[in-house]
């Protein structure tokens, strides 16, 4: 390898390391400061204790908020996958009135600031007489997650050769089995990715939830946010650390069963030819 080539590699490595450090630093600070013995958040931590984790478990409102968040997030993930699949198939396969409009709305949904969405939903739910409940929260989150799922499914379908479906039918597969053996595997990664994204979006959301929840019904991010306005003790960083751990476990589980690389479209092309 030439000298410039080596230099480029070294510089590239340094750059990658810096970017990595920049991304991980806030997490590292949170995790470290959750271990402090002081009753206020500080970095670097002073002393090592797990006291704040015990504190978290002693606060039932955090546990119930976690249950609300996790429940809504799981539901958002499942519904996003199903609606994403149906919507993606409809847009990809059929020409119907309003199809172009629907596609535009779905692809520009990201552009709407979540705070605007929150205000809008607050009005809307009030008009409809919908009381604040996990259900309204779920509806709000679906507005964020379904467009993403649909788009992922559309991308998956774009990579599917329609001839493969014809081939399967010709080989004797009735429509449902064509769907099951040929179409579904092509969008499997998209569905898992869409569900994963929906789960994270819903679980992490603060902005929309702030408008939709009440004092009785608070998601974990809202609970943390409210808690921090009055107490800024390391309980908050302990919860933060637990959430990071939770996400890590989720990623590991998904990696174990599907491969995270696949979620984000990387394929195993490099496995070689012939």
Partner 1 sequence: MTSTPLTSAKTPPGTDAPRGRLRLDGVRKILGGKEVVSAVDLETEPGEFLTLLGPSGCGKTTTLNMIAGHLTADGGLIEVDGRDITTVAPHRRSMGMVFQSYALFPHMTVAENVAFGLRMRKVAATRRGKQVAEVLELVGLDGMSERHPRQLSGGQQQRAALARALVIQPDLLLLDEPFSNLDAQLRVRLRDEVSALQRRIGTTAILVTHDQEEALAVSDRIAVMADGVIHQLDRPQEVYLRPATDFVAQFIGEVNALDGTAAGGGTCEVAGRKVSATPVGQAPAEGAAVRVYVRPEVVRVGSGDQGEGLHGTVRDTRFLGSRIRCVVSTPAGEVTAALPFDARVPAAGEEVTCSWRPSDASLAAR
Write out the residues near partner 1 by the rule CB under 8 A.
Answer: 161, 163-164, 166-175, 177-178, 181-182, 185-186, 267-269, 271-274
CB of 268 vs partner 1, minimal distance in Å: 8
**155 CB burial (10 A radius; 0-12, 13-18, 19+):** middle
What is the closest distance, in whole angstroms, from the C-beta atom of residue 92 to partner 1 in the complex?
A: 17
Interacting residues of 138 by C-beta distance below 8 A, sequence separation 6+: 72, 75, 76, 79, 202
Q: In this structure, what are the phi and psi dihedrals at residue 95, rounded to the nearest 5 degrees?
A: -100, 110
Give min distance, CB of 166 to partner 1, in A: 5
Residue 70 or 186 having the CB closest to partner 1: 186
Smallest separation, CB 45 to partner 1 (Å): 48
18 half-sphere exposure, CB direction, 13 A CA radius: 6
Which of residues 20 and 265 has its CB atom nearest to partner 1 in the complex?
265
Q: Which is nearer to partner 1, 9 or 166 (by Cβ)?
A: 166
Nearer to partner 1, 139 or 164 (CB): 164
Q: How far is the CB of 159 from partner 1 (least distance, A)?
A: 9
Shortest distance in whole angstroms from residue 161 CB to partner 1: 5
Question: Whole-number minimum distance, CB 156 to partner 1, in Å?
Answer: 12
- How many residues are given for the chain? 274
Please check whether residue 104 is in contact with residue 150, taking contact to mean a CB–CB distance below 8 angstroms. no
CA 225 to each of CA 184, 192, 207, 240: distance values in angstroms, whole numbers, following the listed order: 40, 30, 11, 11
Q: Rounded to whole angstroms, how far apart are CA atoms 190 and 154?
A: 9
Task: Reply yes or no: is the peptide bond before residue 44 cis, omega within 30 of 0.
Answer: yes
Q: Is the Cβ–Cβ distance between 102 and 109 less than 8 Å?
A: no
* 197, 107 Cβ separation under 8 angstroms: no
**Local structure of residue 182 (DSSP, 8 states):** I
Q: How far is the CB of 169 from partner 1 (least distance, A)?
A: 4
Q: Is 74 or 173 the residue whose CB approaches partner 1 more closely?
A: 173
Residue 130 or 169: the one with the smaller Cβ distance to partner 1 is 169
Rounded (5°) CA angle 148-149-150: 90
Nearer to partner 1, 73 or 153 (CB): 153
CA dist., res. 148 & res. 87, Å (int): 11
Identify which of residues 12 and 170 has a Cβ nearer to partner 1 in the complex. Answer: 170
């Amino acid at each position: 390898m030439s000298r410039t080539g080596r230099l480029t590699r070294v510089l590239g490595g340094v750059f990658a390391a810096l970017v990595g450090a920049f991304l991980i630093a806030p997490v590292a600070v949170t995790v470290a400061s959750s271990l402090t013995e002081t009753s206020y958040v500080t970095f670097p931590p002073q002393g090592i204790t797990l006291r704040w984790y015990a504190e978290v478990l002693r606060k039932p409102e955090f546990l119930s908020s976690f249950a609300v968040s996790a429940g809504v997030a799981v539901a958002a993930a499942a519904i996003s996958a199903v609606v994403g699949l149906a919507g993606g198939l409809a847009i990809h396969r059929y020409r119907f009135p309003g199809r172009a409009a629907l596609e535009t709305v779905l692809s520009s949904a990201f552009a709407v600031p979540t705070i605007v969405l929150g205000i809008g939903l607050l009005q809307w739910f009030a008009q409809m007489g919908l009381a604040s409940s996990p259900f309204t929260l779920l509806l709000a989150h679906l507005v964020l997650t379904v467009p993403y799922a649909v788009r992922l499914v559309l991308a998956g379908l774009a990579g599917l050769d329609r001839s493969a479906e014809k081939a399967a039918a010709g080989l004797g597969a009735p429509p449902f089995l064509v769907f099951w053996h040929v179409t579904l595997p092509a969008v499997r990664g998209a569905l898992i990715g869409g569900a994963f994204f929906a789960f994270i979006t819903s679980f992490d959301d603060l902005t929309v939830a702030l408008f939709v929840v009440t004092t009785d019904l608070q998601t974990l991010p809202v609970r943390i946010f409210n808690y921090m306005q009055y107490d800024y003790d390391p309980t908050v960083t302990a919860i933060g650390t637990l959430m990071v751990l939770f996400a890590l476990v989720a990623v590991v589980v998904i990696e174990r069963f599907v491969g995270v690389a696949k979620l984000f479209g990387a394929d195993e092309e490099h496995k070689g030819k012939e």
